[in-house]
Amino acid sequence: MINDEYFLAALRLAAGMDPMPGHVSAAARDVYGLRVPQAVTANPAEHAGGRPARSGAAARDDGSHLVRFVTDGLTFDLEVTVGDGLIDVAGQIFPDPGEDTVIDVRTPHLTLTRGVGRNGRFAATGLPPGWLSVVCHRPGHAPVQTRWVRIRP
């Protein structure tokens, strides 16, 4: 007859002997690499036009999507357009984040860094469809990142 405690101990030992599948640990490393240390996350919000955001994006008649993200003291308005299989992003951050502010428009495989123009405006073109996030780097402040949003053609 097997003692329950010995049986449970044997199960714990056996479970510890199986290595983590390679694809699982690789995916975990990839996701960990997408984080922005000490960043504040801006969450999807309702658009200025009053249309509620479905998964953070409201489709317009011209095929573009409007996306708004908000956190304490900073708002991101993004217009995302898909054409020829690629994504273009035109955005504005307000209130104006200042002259030395830099924006990273990120996908899991590509990051485009842009300076912020007058009135907090920026643009990035030629991004692959899929997951997208924007990070705002202001001197003297913690980075602010949008949640990841999926853009499909």
Which pLDDT score, from 0 to 100, does residue 56 have? Answer: 44
On whether both 147 and 99 belong to a single domain, the answer is yes
Helix, strand and coil in the chain, % to nearest 5: 20, 45, 40
On whether both 73 and 139 belong to a single domain, the answer is yes
Q: In the chain, which residues have pLDDT < 70?
A: 1-2, 17-20, 47-63
Which pLDDT score, from 0 to 100, does residue 123 have? Answer: 96
Q: Which domain holds residue 9?
A: 4-33
On whether both 27 and 48 belong to a single domain, the answer is no
C-alpha 145/C-alpha 105 separation (Å) is: 10
Which pLDDT score, from 0 to 100, does residue 4 have? Answer: 72
Structural domain total, the chain:
2
C-alpha 150/C-alpha 120 separation (Å) is: 23
